[in-house]
Structure 1
Amino acid sequence: MTRSEQDVLAGVGPRLHALRRKRGITLAALAGETGLTASTLSRLENGRLRPTLEQLLPLARAHGVPLDDLVAAPPTGDPRIHLRPVRRFGLTVVPLTRRVGGVQAFKVVYPPAGRAHTTTPQTHDGYEWFYVLNGRVRFVLGDEEFELGAGEAAEFDTRTPHWIGSAGDQPAELFTLFGPEGERAHLAPNAPPGAAARSAP
């Protein structure tokens, strides 16, 4: 094995650890998603176990990232992003960015109202902005509720309890920017905490 190959494999563990921490799940939960044991996952993250393709494939699927991202494959000069939809909890999520960390862009398709996996508001670190491409969206933020249609947008601190879902009998399609660790996802550095739901220009 060449030195460069050793360096690539050595970087897999920290990337796996960062992806799991970003999702806020335990080793046991990830084990349930991938079929790998929690011990194996821990050894992979700590670099004590050399990863195999059979281990990396289910991990890439579980984290919703391309396999290339796990091994930091060198760029090929092709700037196109090969879209790989991920279906999770009834949603279809299409990652639109390749890098791990920083602001992430997604297209999210919510199922028709009544088919949502959960309607319980969630909280997590970060800041989110979304734009409704098609359909109507029911957006719950704290004690308030909004309904948005195509062409409308909202921004909010994800530490506030929130829930997003379709408001009609058709799927709702959103373009979403999410910034971890409270990082704002678009240029509004002086906006007050909370949400601003409005029509896009």
Structure 2
Amino acid sequence: MSDDFEDVLHAVGPRLRALRRHCGMTLAELAATTGVSESTLSRLESGLRRASLELLLPLARAYDVPLDDLVGAPRTGDPRVHLTPIHRHGMTFVPLSRRPGGMQAYKMIIPGTGRPLDPDHKTHEGHEWLYVLHGRLWLVLGEQDLVLPPGEAAEFDTTLPHWLGSADGKAVELLILFGRYGERAHLRARTG
């Protein structure tokens, strides 16, 4: 076993003793609460017995602490994904994927302006697939003007002049899959 592992195991007993004393409990009181004998608790605290899960679980319940606190497990990072919005051209893009290159996923928010804006066509390499979550999207593709309500989707080559905006001046939310090098989203629907 590694030295770090041995250090963690040796620290469990003193940690248990300190926690019991902090709670103002005697070995007899703790034994009555947990169903673990006084003798076993004493040996755990003095390091003469190794802690096992079946001994630590009743202690964690009695002390009302997470099991990790009893053994001094290292803290893990926050498991939540914290997304950093990108503000560009008056719109907000929330990245939903972190993979460099290849397909990228974004939630895009077009803020309400009170009135539709004048289209400003852009082009760039890639392929885009979008799905409207909320609001009415005004999509200009070359010479085509399209209005997409919630639930509608579109797919296009971004080398075609295009523009995305609000059809009625109200906020629009959509999901976007973007492939910088022309990757396309392939949809397969099972029928019957």
- Give the TM interval when normalised to the shorter protein: 0.5 to 0.7
TM-score normalised by length of structure 1: 0.51
CA apart distance, 1:115: 7.0
For 1:84 and 1:120, the matched residues in 2 are separated by: 26
Q: Please name the residue that 1:187 is paired with.
A: 186
Unmatched 5+ stretches in structure 2:
1-75
Report the AA paired with residue 169 of structure 1.
G
Partner of 2:92: 92
Identity over the aligned pairs, expressed in percent?
Answer: 52
Structure 2 counterparts to residues 29-108 of structure 1, below 5 A: 80-108=80-108
**TM-superposed deviation, 1:170:** 1.5
Cα distance in 2 between the residues matched to 1:79 and 1:123:
37
1:41 paired residue number: none
Q: Distance in 2 between matches of 1:132 and 1:124?
A: 21
Distance in 2, Cα, partners of 1:178 & 1:156: 10
Pairs aligned (count) = 112
CA distance in 2, matches of 1:98, 1:104: 8
State how far apart, in whole Å, the 1-side matches of 2:144 and 2:152 are: 17
1:33-82 Cα distance to aligned partner (Å, 9 max, x none) = xxxxxxxxxxxxxxxxxxxxxxxxxxxxxxxxxxxxxxxxxxx8877532
**Cα pair 2:116 2:166 within 8 Å, conserved:** no
User: What CA distance in whole angstroms lies between the structure 2 residues aligned with 1:103 and 1:178?
Assistant: 5
CA distance in 2, matches of 1:180, 1:88: 17
Query: How big is the shift at 1:169?
Result: 2.9
Alpha-carbon distance between aligned partners in 2 of 1:88 and 1:162, rounded to the nearest angstrom: 16
2:130 equivalent to 1:130: yes
- 1:187 counterpart letter in structure 2: H
Please give the root-mean-square deviation of Cα atoms over the aligned residues, in Å: 2.2
SS of alignment partner, residue 170 of structure 2: coil
Q: CA deviation at 1:98?
A: 1.1
Counterpart of 1:3 in structure 2 is: none
CA contact (8 A) 1:127 1:157 kept: yes
**Structure 1 match to 2:22:** none
Tell me the secondary structure at the aligned position of residue 159 of structure 2: coil
Residue 109 of structure 1: CA displacement? 0.4
C-alpha change, 1:115 and 1:145, in structure 2 (3 Å) is closer
Per-residue deviation, 1:112: 2.4
Q: Distance in 1 between matches of 2:103 and 2:79?
A: 18
Instruction: Give the drift of 1:110.
Output: 0.7
Structure with higher Rg: it is 2
Q: Which whole-Å CA distance do the structure 1 matches of 2:127 and 2:161 have between them?
A: 12
More displaced stretch, 94-103 vs 79-88: 79-88
**Residues of 1 paired with 2:122 and 2:87: CA distance?**
19
